Amino acid sequence: MAQRGMTAYNVHGNHDMNFHVPGDEYAAETFRRIFGPEYYSFDYGDVHFILLDDIDYKGWNKEENKRGRYTGYIHDKQLQWLQNDLQHVPEHKLVVLAKHIPIATDLSDGDYNKVTNRDKLFAILKSRKKLLALSGHTHATEVFKFGERHGWHSETKFVSINPGAACGAWWSGPKDIRGVPAAMGVDGSPNGYYVFEFNGSDYSYRFKAANQQASDQIRISFPRGKIQLGDSVQQKIVVNVFAGGMDTGVDYQIDDGGLVPMQYGKIADPFVVAYMQNNEDSIAEWIRSSPRSTHVWYADFPEDLFPGMHTIKIIATDHQKKSYTKTAVFEIEENQK
């Protein structure tokens, strides 16, 4: 990063801790010495960035002589600092909170994947007019708006974005001609990164998959290739919109037919399930056991398609009103007797 001449703002995560300590008090000591404070803030124009430490380390496990557990939690001292910090931030500014563990997630119920005392955090933030939350940790892309189910009771639109990981599913999977693993995330998104643009106190973002065109935002998991006539009616049209979320609208069109809305579902991408089953030798079992996604849409496959070549087009529009398209060709074959 230093060689690229770009400023890096570091966030303390669960792999940055001193593991051989009795508890959380000294867990970030080395991080502080090398990188600086584990929580801090700075301004960039009309945007106020707040970087938080939401890792609560339970200390070295002496009984089993191994690294101890951790949960998502923000200590009272840091919350008091946050409250004091925001008193000096004008109301018109966008407040961006960046931390390792998401404030909340629909990917897991584990306390290690969410901030367990987010009610205290929300109480401090509820009066702000412009908010954005960024996180990492889960190695999956996830976009949603906080609401009642998360304990967010303010009228302020508060979006949470978890931009996946540059290493995808921990650099696993088959290797390409360069020797680089496919590293597809458990949610079905390619490994990559997000690009944010700030205009005053407004923001926009886009997902960029590694080694792919910027326009590559959707995968059509089914239909693909050749399909036997009759088998297709047992299938669903399934698409994965990498940076999509509950507020994304997705439609499909086959040949010259009309647009048909698709249904949102928090389900595993069947393409990813098959990918992991076919690459067991290069993907660890603990990764293969948990394919999950919050950006998959599906619809019934039409029963009246004739044998031959067909074109399917997917149109997705996210909460930013940005639209993405994906087109593919598939073939329906008559059943072989």
pLDDT of residue 10: 95
Nearest one of 298, 210, 206, 198 to 244, comparing CA atoms? 206
CA 146, 150, 151, 153 dihedral sign is: positive
Sign of the CA dihedral running 111, 101, 192, 260:
positive
Secondary structure class of 139 (helix, strand, coil): coil
From 3.40.50.720, 3.60.21.10, 3.90.1260.10, 3.40.50.11540, which CATH number describes the 2-163 domain?
Answer: 3.60.21.10
User: Where are the chain's structural domains?
Assistant: 2-163, 218-333
pTM for the complete prediction? Answer: 0.93
SS (H, E, C) 2-45: HHHCCCCCCCCCCCCCCCCCCCHHHCCHHHHHHCCCCCEEEEEC
Q: Provide the token pair at 8.
A: 């890096």
Q: Quick one: which H or E segment has residue 207?
A: strand 202-209
Tokens encoding 84: 């004091």
- Check: CB of residue 167 under 8 Å from CB of residue 139: yes
Task: State residue 108's pLDDT score.
Answer: 86
- Asked if the domains 2-163 and 218-333 are classified in one and the same CATH topology, the answer is no
Rg (CA), the chain: 22
218-333 has which fold? Immunoglobulin-like (2.60.40)
pLDDT for position 337: 57
C-alpha distances in Å from residue 264, one per residue of 41, 147, 187, 312: 37, 18, 14, 18
337 residues of the chain, pLDDT tens digit each: 778 888 899 999 999 999 999 999 999 999 999 999 999 999 999 999 999 999 999 999 999 999 999 999 999 999 999 999 999 999 999 999 999 999 999 988 899 999 999 999 999 999 999 999 999 999 999 999 999 999 999 999 999 999 999 999 999 999 999 999 999 998 999 999 999 999 999 999 999 999 999 999 999 999 999 988 766 556 899 999 999 999 999 999 999 999 999 999 988 899 999 999 999 999 988 888 677 899 999 999 998 899 999 999 999 999 999 999 999 999 999 876 5
Contacts of 12 (CB under 8 A, 6+ apart): 28, 31, 38, 39, 53, 55, 100
